[in-house]
Amino acid sequence: MLKKLFIIALVWWCVLGVLAVEEKEKEEELESSTSVVPRIFIQECFVNLHAGQNCALHPDLNYDLICDMWSYCSEGRCEDTLEIGSTCQQNVTKCNPNSYCSSDSICVPHKSVLLNGNCQVDRDCIGNNTICSSGKCVLKDNICVVDLDCQAGYYCKFTNIDIKKNGTCAPKHLDGACVSSSECSYPKICGYENNDSENKICMEKLVKNRGSKCADPYECEIDHFCRNGTCATVQKAKTTCKSSCDCDEKDYCSYDMVLNKQVCKNWEQIWLNRMCTFVQKDLTECAHKNSCPYENQPEIKSNDCILDKCDTEYKRYTDQCTPYQKLFNSANNLGLPTFLVLVLSIVSIILL
């Protein structure tokens, strides 16, 4: 116990040290950034913001400021999205993720009602082949096309994985041969039995070292990812940016808590970094404990059960696994969100 506390204190001290050094580097950076060469933008140029940040566009800004999925821009500030049941105004306010502003101007759930849950219209029901029949979400013709068409603990099994049609819901399993990770029960994924094998089995996450044969994003150990069938190291993000247009196409400009600056990040750097992996693990654990259906992959959609039982975990997950801008406007740099992020990162370093 004491040893753990000591490690926490040590890591804490190091992080604070890093922040102090970065502060100095930032000043130097600001000086060099005045010589920006004008360029033609063909990409959509933007940076995501969190609630509370300034989203007012001004003339010398050549990119968009987009409020994240939990907020919307109102009078120059990203405001928190509205809870289900609140009064809303179409095109003016925004409802929580997985809900929308109905014609009666009330935030109502969108595609988040699970099988057998109460619904009014088809679009209330989660999944791609579910309908609202006599006020309940049901599977149409007993055919599934995505895993979320099935109840918790089940996946959509296809006779031919390449033609994802006419699937049937089948129970997930913890061991044995598999085709895709969606059929493995928590906390396993579907990966290659060994380097020389073509056989895939349900196995632990984050176990294979660099150079090993892999199929699932979580098959390789932490800080690694599955590139073209082989475990490779996730490169550290380095390129400083102001918006996505300073980055390669498909990459995002995102604040990096450890570097304390905005850098270009690709898919792996966003979804497979320690923090995101850690909060994703928390979320899937919560979903599993509460029998909420979820996709066994980095990107998880929310649903009624997750909103109800794992709201905190889901919010933390979308916060950490979504690229966003540094909080500029707070007077003290170590505001509450930053503090929470630091604590989380320390916990993740210790646990992973």
Ligand X SMILES: *[C@@H]1O[C@H](CO)[C@@H](O)[C@H](O)[C@H]1NC(C)=O
Residue whose structure tokens are 């750097």: 269
Whichever of 89 and 291 has its CB closer to ligand X, that residue is 89
Whichever of 168 and 338 has its CB closer to ligand X, that residue is 168
Q: Out of 91, 134, 329, 332, name the contact with ligand X by CB under 6 A.
A: 91
Stretch that binds ligand X, among 62-70, 163-171, 174-182, 287-295 (CB under 6 A): 163-171
Q: Out of 209, 238, 249, 351, name the contact with ligand X by CB under 6 A.
A: 209
* Interaction of residue 188 with ligand X, rule CB under 6 A: no
Q: CB of residue 88 vs ligand X: minimum separation in angstroms? A: 11
Q: Out of 166, 185, 322, 338, name the contact with ligand X by CB under 6 A.
A: 166
Work out the number of other CB atoms within 10 angstroms of the CB of residue 133. 13
Pattern of binders to ligand X over 116-155, x per CB under 6 A?
A: ------------x----------------xx---------
Closest CA to 216 of 319, 310, 295: 295
How many Å is the Cα radius of gyration of the chain? Answer: 22
Q: CB of residue 99 vs ligand X: minimum separation in angstroms? A: 15
Closest CA to 313 of 294, 326, 336: 294
Exposed/middle/buried for residue 27 (C-beta within 10 Å: 0-12, 13-18, 19+):
exposed
Whichever of 112 and 262 has its CB closer to ligand X, that residue is 112
* Interaction of residue 195 with ligand X, rule CB under 6 A: yes
Residue whose structure tokens are 């994802």: 164
Output 202-208 pairs: Cβ under 8 A, ≥24 positions apart. 202/173, 202/174, 202/175, 202/176, 202/178, 206/277, 206/352
* Interaction of residue 194 with ligand X, rule CB under 6 A: yes
255 strand-pairing partners: 262
* Interaction of residue 165 with ligand X, rule CB under 6 A: yes
Structure tokens at 52: 């509370």
Spatial contact of 129 and 144, defined as CB atoms under 8 Å apart? yes
* Interaction of residue 32 with ligand X, rule CB under 6 A: no
Stretch that binds ligand X, among 162-170, 247-255, 293-301, 319-327 (CB under 6 A): 162-170
Q: How far is CA 207 from the centre of its chain?
A: 21
Greatest Cα-to-Cα distance within the chain, rounded to the nearest angstrom: 65
* Interaction of residue 76 with ligand X, rule CB under 6 A: no
* Interaction of residue 226 with ligand X, rule CB under 6 A: no
Q: CB of residue 129 vs ligand X: minimum separation in angstroms? A: 8
Binding site for ligand X (CB under 6 A): 90-91, 128, 145-146, 163-166, 194-195, 208-209, 211-212, 228
